[in-house]
Amino acid sequence: MKTEPSFLTYLMKPKNWWLPFLLIFTVSISGLIFIGYQTYNEAPPIPDYVDSRGNVVISKADILAGQEVFHRYALMEYGSMFGDGALRGPDFTAQTLHEMAESMKKFYKVQSPIEPNPVAQAGIEELVKQEIKENRYREEDNQAVLSDAQTFAANEINTFYQRVFRDPEFHEAFKPSGYLTDPKEIEQLSKFFYWGAWVCSVSRPGETYSYTHNWPFDPEAGNTPTASTMLWSILGLFGLVLGLGAVMYYYGQFEQLTEEYYAKGASEMVTEEKVRTFRPTPTQRATFKFFYVAILLFLIQVLAGVLTVHDFVGFTSFFGFDLQALIPVTISRSWHVQVSLYWISACWVGISFFILPLLAKGEPKGQLRLINLLFAIFFVLVAGSVIGIYMGPMGMLGNLSRWLGHQGWEFVELGRLYQYMLLAVFAFWAVIVYRGLKGVMAKAKPWELPNWLVYAVVCILILLVSGFVASPETNFVVADFWRWMVVHMWVEAFFEVFTTIIVGYMMVMMGLVNRQAVTKVVYLAALLFLGSGLLGISHNFYWNAKPIGTLALGSVFSTLQVVPLILLTLEAWRMQRMPQLLANKNNQTGRSSLFAMPGVFLYLLGVNFWNFFGAGVFGLIINLPIANYYEHGTYLTVNHGHAALMGVYGNLSIAAILFALRYLTKSDTWNPRLVKVSFWSINLGLVFMVVLDLFPAGLHQLFTVMDQGYWFARSQEFIQSTPFQTMTWLRIVGGSIFLLGGVLPLTWMVLKSARNLKPDQPFVLNRFHQERKEVEVY
């Protein structure tokens, strides 16, 4: 008796893949529109603060001016607002909130005719909490009335920050002294911080908790976790279990994806002979300059990170010269973050251009000219923005700082002019990729690998447009929404899809898997990354003044982000056995000795390892609302960021460099032993940085938050404490291995390769192609 096909069987056929894709895409886009609507409609106001007699204490204009000062001096690269930013300094919202509470207590003690007894003291503390929580904002005139104690606190906070930036002996002093000295600018800055503290503490209209769900944790100011935070943490775990079960069941229906299934129909494994006889096309040879610049930027990024860590431990003087005075931490960290995006982007652009001739039957006319033009724009962009990032915060550009210097946003440090140039680079990237693949893009088969590559590149371009929406006068909460629309959507959605595509392409071109199997993996991974990643943006908004709906979405979809990473881990376990399997199949001996890409393959395995641990495990433990409530803006976030960014995207970028260099350079210049040493040094160095510093320091800081309050765990007293300083010094162990054993040898090898490039030739079907009947197999 013939069994009727099930609905699941119907979905397994590629021609029917549109249904789940459209369903997930529709739900995700609808959720994003909902979050955007709530961001604008429920954003905290920026009022004029008046005292009980109606006198303006802090004006809206003062707050916006302070916001502009905050960005102009790149203070998000020193401390943070609402937990977003750097960790060298305090979270300014938490610090200001605590100072507000202490100043109000001081006011009431001074007003008391006698020394308060324990009962009176408790009464003062409760009164302060009540006044902090009470929302006396009037929408009709955009004014918020302050009590006499709050008015006193506003003046005290200005005094506090005058000392932070102008008194080098102050316990919370910004170093180096002299970075920000204008009393007027500091006063405006303190008023911006006051607004942030007010947002974090005053009750949202109609609710019993603040705009930020009572974040940061500070019991003395009345901020403790809400019931919703705990409830949605439980529901988030419930959603993870259901989602993981459903995906594993669906994945299991993708035929029997054994190693034999992956290998069936794959091209012959890439051997030393194939690599030796390969001749690059002009466009392929032109990609070398992308990798050359990328490896230099990688070195610069690492050195900037070394300087930033030295600032943490106060070790910045060398031979009587203080680097901290010349390069403040706001600048070194800006370089460390922004340059990482540059070198990774250079690798991705370069590898996508390199594989185009391997995928297509020809090269469009003018392709080489476009690639060289893109590189020229990229070069000017990098050089100009790196210089501008220094000149802007140092006050050398005046009113042009936002355009030519530093925009003041973490991960979007580059000046606005250079941001437009980056948009142009990505636009050229999309055009070049489309032109190169147009001939092999199957309209009747929209899920084929060439199509996926175009989709990913175009989406990366579109998302960058989000970074142009906000202006310096935009409410910080709204502007930060658009910043995360770029950063999160890149990193946790489309970058992940792009990673899966490129890894799949390299595996196919190395002859380890067949195209059809990789297409299915890419489709399922893309489905899951888009399904969890788009709405997973919500976990960045738990405490950024969004209402309960955003918290609910984030709790469920952020935990689901680990599901596709588990899927890729399963694939990595299967893939790591492919070279040996194919060698045995071809009656090869000596452990795949003829395989020409063992170093590249190692880095690809590193991608999947860190995808699971760095992005998956370390991301999951901080994404539940109740965990994130205490953890947000601590070293556990830094731990996740380093392990995921370097572990996943860094390893992939290095794999891309090595893959291309293997074909571009003469075989006798290739040093497989050095490649292997660089891999283990970089990845073991990263492991040691995580194990000896980032993870234990994060746990120590988390415990301190729960024990003494978030403000204290971000104070200089904590940063300079012996346990934290000891763990920061221990990072030198991993960092030294990473730099000396990994980055420097890799840099030397790439720079040396410049003198040993193969000559190019006009595009023909190379021997690499001629051994296949159909170019589309790639």
pLDDT, tens digit, 9 for 90 and up, residues 74-113: 999 999 999 999 999 999 999 999 999 999 999 998 887 6
Q: What pLDDT digit, counting tens, does each position of 435-469 carry?
A: 999 888 876 678 888 899 999 999 999 989 999 99
Segments in 278-366 forming alpha helices (H): 282-286, 288-313, 323-326, 329-359
So what's the pLDDT on residue 778? 34
pLDDT score at 572: 58
134 burial level (CB within 10 Å; 0-12, 13-18, 19+): middle
Residues with Cβ within 8 Å of residue 449, at least 6 apart in sequence = 359, 501, 504, 505, 508, 515, 518, 519, 522
Structure tokens at 117: 């007894």
Cα Rg, the chain, nearest whole Å: 28
Band (656; pLDDT cuts 50, 70, 90): very high
pLDDT digits (tens, 9 = 90+) for 139-179: 999 999 999 999 999 999 999 999 999 999 999 999 988 99
Predicted pLDDT of residue 578? 58
Cis peptide before 90 (omega within 30 of 0): no
pLDDT at 544 over 90: yes
Locate 298 and state its tokens: 């990688």
Do β-strands 48-50 and 143-145 pair in parallel, antiparallel, or remain unpaired?
Answer: parallel
Least confident piece of the model among 309-318, 326-335, 524-533: 524-533
pLDDT category, 584, cuts 50, 70, 90? low
Q: What's residue 319's pLDDT?
A: 67
User: Exposed, middle or buried: residue 654 (CB in 10 Å: 0-12, 13-18, 19+)?
Assistant: buried
Burial environment of residue 591 by CB neighbours within 10 A (0 to 12, 13 to 18, 19 or more): exposed
Structure tokens at 404: 């030519």
- C-alpha span between 29 and 766 (Å, rounded): 44
Rounded CA-CA distance 598/291 in Å is 19
Tokens of 310: 């030295």
Give the pLDDT mean for 208-225. Answer: 97
With bands split at pLDDT 50, 70 and 90, how would you rate the model's confidence at 527?
A: confident
Res 768: pLDDT: 40
pLDDT exceeds 70 at position 592: no
Tell me the average pLDDT across 194-214: 97
CB-CB contact of 759 with 717 (8 Å) = no
Which residues, in sequence order, are CB contacts of 207 under 8 Å at separation 6+? none
Residue 118 burial (10 A CB sphere; 0-12, 13-18, 19+): exposed
pLDDT attached to residue 4: 45
At residue 520, the pLDDT reads 79
